[in-house]
Every structure is written in C-alpha cells, then in structure tokens.
Chain A
Amino acid sequence: MDEASYKILIADDNMSDRMILTAIVKKMGHTVISASDGLEAVNQYNEQNPDIILLDVMMPNMNGQEAAVEIKSIAGEEMVPIIFLTSLQDASDLAACLESGGDDFLSKPYNPIILTAKINAFSRMLKMHKILQQQKDVISENAEHLLNEQQVARAVYDNVAHSGCLDLPNLKFLLSPFSVFNGDVLLAARKPSGSVHILLGDFTGHGLPAAIGAMPLAEIFYGMTAKGFLMEEILREINSKLKNILPVGYFCCACMANLSFRKKEMEVWMGGLPDYYMFRKDSNEVEHIQSTHLPLGVLSSQAFDATTQRLPFNTGDKLFMWSDGIIESRNDTGDLFGEERLKQIFADNQDRSLLFDEIEHTVNIFTGESGKDDDTTMLEITMVEESEIGEAAIDLSSGAIHGPTDWKMAYTLRGDTLKTFNPLPVMLNILNDVPSLRRLSGQLYTLMAELFSNAFEHGVLGLSSDLKSSTEGFTKYYQQRAENMENIGDGYVCFIFDHKPTDAGGELIIKVIDSGDGFDYKLKKDSDFKVEGYSGRGIPLIRTICETLKYSGNGNTVEVTLHWDAEETE
C-alpha cells in the first residue's frame, strides 16, 4: 500500500468527468489540481509541478497530445507520468497517444480500481526514479571529490619531485602527466660529484595505492643522492621502506642507474622490468641489459641484493629505459605490441638520433584511438662529455651560520666495515658544518671520492686501474675487485681532517692513509698521470681542486691542502 501523497493534475474539459476523477484520486490520499483544456494543463504544470498527470485527449484550445508533448519537453530529465483519459478504441489511435509522450491510458467509464492500481504503479516508479537520481548525484559528487583529491596528490608529488634533473641535455623522456597514478615514476638527480642517478619505477596497481609508494621512494632517492650516498645504499633504503609500507603482493619493478661522465661508466640495478637496450656507437650494435633482481619491496632487508652491473658507457652510446607499458600496450583488437616489434624498430632504424621518436610514433600508431601515452614511460640516456653537462648545483642548506673553524678529526674504516660502509656522506656532512666549505661541497665530495677510491681499490685491494682500459679487462677488473674484497682481512682506510682558520679565510688539510703496499710515487712524473679515461689515480683531477698534493710513506699516504677565501663566499 502506497504511503506517499502526490500532487496529481486532472485535465479534462468535462465537468462531471473531472468530478469523478477528483473524488477517486482524493480518496487515495493525493492532492488534486485541475485544468479544463490543454493550455491550462501546461500552465498548471509550470506553476504547480504535479507528480502525475491525468490528461484528456480531446480538449479545446490545445488537445491532450499537444499538451503532453509540451509538458514532457518542459520536464526534461524529470519523470512525470502522463495517463491519457480516452474513449478511443482504435489501437493505432491509442498507440499515437503513447507516442506523443503518454505513459498509459485509462478508458471511460472510469473504473476506480483500475485507476488506483495505475496511480500506485506510477508512484512506485517515481520512487525508484528518485532513488536513482540520488545515487547518480552521489556518484558524480564522489567522482568530483576523487578528481580534486588526485589533483592535490599530484601537486604534493610534484613538490617532492621538483629537485629532479630530467631536463639535462643528454636525457630524452616520455612520461604521462598522470604517470604517478599509473604507478610509473621517473626520477633523475645529480650527486655532489656530478654523476647522475636515474630511477625508473613501475608500481603494481593504479591510482592512489601506486602513488602512495612513489612519494617516500622519491624522498629517499633525492635526499640520499644529494648527500652522496651510493646506489646500493639508496636501493637498500628504498627496498626496506617499501617492504614496510606496502601490503604483501604490492611491489615496485625498478631500474636504477648511476652515470659517471668522468669515468664514462654506468652502474645498473634492474628488478622486474623487461630488457633494456643499450646502443653502442662504435660497433653500432645493440646490447640487452637484463633484470637480475626481484622488484623492490618484496624481499626483507637481510635478503635484499643490491649487487649492480657495471658497464662501460662511452660518448655517443645510448641506453633506452622503459616500463613494461610499451610491450604490454594493446591495439583495438587486443593484440600485444610485444618485444618483437620493439626489436624490429631498432633493427630498421637508420639514424640513432631518431630512435626515440620512432619508438614513440610506432607505439602510438599501434594503439590507435584506444591507447594513449598514458602507460608509456620511456627514457633515452646518451653519454656526453662532462663539459656539456655542467656542474651540479647542490642545495644542502642546513642551519648554523657560525660553524667550527679550528678542529681536527680522524675517521678510520676497518675490515668488514670497510667492505660494506660508504663513509663519504658522513664525512661530507661534517665538512658542511663549516659554512664556507658548503659552497665547495661538490668539489670536496669529488675529492674525497677520488682519495677514497684510490686508497680502497688501489691501496687496500691492490687493483691496478690499467685493467679497465679494455672491455674484457673492465669485467675482469670488477671480478677481481669482488674477489679481493673477500680477503680484506685487517685492511683499513683512514681519513684525517685538519681545519684551521687563516687571515684570508681557512685551510683544510686532508690526509688519507691506507693499509696497502703503496706504489713508488717518486718514480712517477706528472705527465704519467693520465688526464682522461679510467687509468691513473685521478691525480690531475685532485690537482685541480687542491693547491698541494704530497705522497709519503711507501706511497700509501697522501696529503692534500685546500684554501678558501672569506671574500669569495657570500
């Protein structure tokens, strides 16, 4: 039994007929408004907005059918059932009524039972329609909320990612503006030494769950890279973080790369992404770099393997990195783009500088209308001369205006710790406490990195950098490095920092002692220390940063000095 009370318009030109209908409808508990012709019916609809209309077909001024058309057009999306009152018998006449906008008809003589049943049926429909409208409104409101939230999330993410250097001249990339919500992340940042760290990540899932993982990942990446941490340390930290915050089954397929413009070398870690292609300028060949690790966020810290692959990367060489969006993209008929098509693009290509565009173009044509760049994330890295890249602008702003100017500190790493711990960020941090040294952060980091590398690899591990001059030697060098690391024993590297104020500003003396056998430095002349490439102990580089460089002991001790001028600092 229907509880709702509706407003019902009765339009009939015959008075007695109207009286009967009014009596029936009022008895049902509804309110009645009346009209005696079509025009009046339309006006009444406009003014009173009845819920249901009983409309006589034959009326003067405007007949029922015309009135119905008018009323339905005024009503628009709102539901207003119209029941035609008619003594028409002909089926085609009745059909014409319904076509003009009527929803039902009632014939004379008016049967109260039938009319009641019809009105009840329509009132049920009205209720349902109302519920649907409400749900529709809720849904569209929610959709709007979600869109707003996504925009806010994107803005937050952009702030986290702002310090990136994807705009470097040797990088070309393709990334959807909504990539965060596809789970795709592309980050690039410079280390204090000038090297570039790159991270391409592909989170499982879409939308906010994917974006949520991207933010701590970006923070760790940028923060640690700026402080001079190594790739392995950053990966370990990210893996640990993601393992903690993501639920089981969620992870991030990723590739991280470290590009050294000085050494013309690339270090790569890949977990869960399809093969990357490296184009070699000299041989014109394409090499594949494969994923050798599980994605980030799967393994515990103990089980995590941060081992990287090291490859020479010479001027003109190109590395192509991507998410699985290219291979997994589909066309209208559901076919996969697949790896074969990608290989074909590389095989057919005539001009390597056009490769990137050719890939983008081919994928777009393949996916046609159905796909967009939304899931295609791609990066091309070309190795260039260091001079083309410029220096890193590091912002390591920290508090103190007045720092320590007269101090001495020794820091020694021994045995197993020497094997696994990277002291550079810690030491750089201490030096940065001297405000004027902060502006020299980049140089200091580079200097300490060279000194440490010499002391560790050539000194403690006893490796000769001559090995690196050929490609096979390159691999052999790192193999031997790994072997010698196992036998480090009591090996050690010691850094001694001595900082004194001077009239002009300050003086920093860094002494590095290692436990190795040293080398016969007296025999070496300046010209023997090569400037470029990977041979030598980077002596010329050190010389450009420091004023003096002195070897002592058996060659296992080196001391450099560096002055800074108060006037030059702001």
Chain B
Amino acid sequence: MKQQGNAIGVDMSVSATTNGNELVVNIEGRFDFSAHQEFRDSYEKADSNVNSYVINMKSASYLDSSALGMLLLLRDHAGGDSADVHITNCNQDVRKILTISNFEQLFKID
C-alpha cells in the first residue's frame, strides 16, 4: 500500500510503504510543521497489524522541534515505551538535532 504526499508550495513530502508488519515512512525535504497532517496520516491509516516503524530520513534536509514532536506522537501511537521505531539514514544536520535532544534514549537512530 503506497500513499503519496503532496508538495504544494512546500519543500517536503511524506510517503509510506508496508513490508509485512513494518511500516516505512519516507521523509523528503524539510521535516517541519507543514508535514504534520501527512505524517500523521501515514501511520494512522496504515494496516493495524503494523508493529514496527522505520522513518527513512535519506532525503530529509532538515528537522525542527515540531518534527521532534511528531516523532514523539508516533512513538506514543506505536506503544510508548514498548514502541519499535527506527530513525535511519540521517544526514549530519538531522543527526545533530536528534543528538542535542537526546532522542537516542527513545529511538533507534542511525
């Protein structure tokens, strides 16, 4: 199941694919407040048997505090402390922001 995000005038898009029980969400461009609805939709509308999440930041250029908030929302949706969320392919800027916030205490990050 693949959903396409929109990119009207905003420098970002969100898309998602499911492999079995794993949902992969791809972030493109700036991950900020404008991505809010799409990001939420990508995991809320996924199959109910999804129990592990991969957030692919390969094409993400930038991350701000509202994006951090969105990640926390996802983690909450995915079971809170028992959630299995993996943030992957982070570039240097993205990595830096996640490190400053010490998000590796809550997520698997690479």
Contact = CB atoms under 8 A, between A and B. Distances in A.
Contact of B102 (A204, A205, A294): A294
Interface in B32-84: 64-66, 68-70, 72-73, 76, 81
A164 interface: no
Contact of A251 (B69, B70, B76): B69
Contacts of A271: 101-102
B65 A204 contact: yes
A273 B100 contact: yes
A531 B72 CA distance: 50
Given A294-B105, A294-B106, A250 B69 contact: yes
Given A248-B72, A248-B76, A298-B72, A253 B65 contact: yes
A292 B103 CA distance: 10
A271 B68 CA distance: 13
Chain A interface mostly helix, strand, loop or mixed? loop
Nearest to A297: B72
Contacts of B73: 248-249
Contacts of A202: 65
A204 B69 contact: yes
A271 B81 CA distance: 19
Nearest to A204: B65
Interface in A292-338: 292-295, 298, 303, 324, 328
A272 B100 contact: yes
A251 B72 contact: yes
Contacts of B65: 202, 204, 253, 324
Nearest to B70: A249
A274 interface: yes
B102 A293 contact: yes
A475 interface: no
B87 to A, nearest CB: 15
Interface residues of B, number: 16
Nearest to B73: A249
A294 B103 contact: yes
A481 to B, nearest CB: 24
Interface in A246-294: 248-251, 253, 271-275, 290-294
A377 to B, nearest CB: 14
B12 to A, nearest CB: 15
Contact of B68 (A204, A274, A290): A204
A553 to B, nearest CB: 46
A32 B27 CA distance: 64
**Which interface residue of B69, B73, B76 has the most chain A CB atoms within 10 A?**
B69
B85 to A, nearest CB: 14
B108 to A, nearest CB: 15
Contact of A272 (B66, B70, B101): B101
A272 B103 CA distance: 9
A298 B72 CA distance: 8
Contacts of B66: 204-205
B69 A249 contact: yes
Nearest to B93: A336
A497 B61 CA distance: 63
Nearest to A290: B100
Contacts of A324: 65
Contacts of A250: 69
Nearest to A246: B69
A295 B70 contact: no
A368 to B, nearest CB: 21
Contacts of A294: 101-103, 105-106
B72 A291 contact: no
A299 B42 CA distance: 25
B101 A253 contact: yes
Point out which of B66, B76, B101 has the most chain A C-beta atoms below 10 A from its C-beta.
B101
A419 B73 CA distance: 35
A393 to B, nearest CB: 37
Nearest to B33: A205
Given A204-B65, A250-B69, A253-B65, A295 B76 contact: no
A253 B105 CA distance: 15
A476 B103 CA distance: 29
Given A204-B69, A294-B101, A295-B101, 6 more contacts: A204-B66, A248-B72, A271-B101, A291-B101, A294-B103, A298-B72
Closest 4 CB pairs of A and B: A249-B69, A249-B73, A272-B101, A248-B76
16 contacts: A202-B65, A204-B68, A248-B72, A251-B68, A251-B69, A251-B72, A271-B102, A272-B100, A272-B102, A290-B100, A293-B102, A294-B102, A294-B105, A295-B101, A303-B81, A328-B64
Interface of A: 202, 204-205, 248-251, 253, 271-275, 290-295, 298, 303, 324, 328
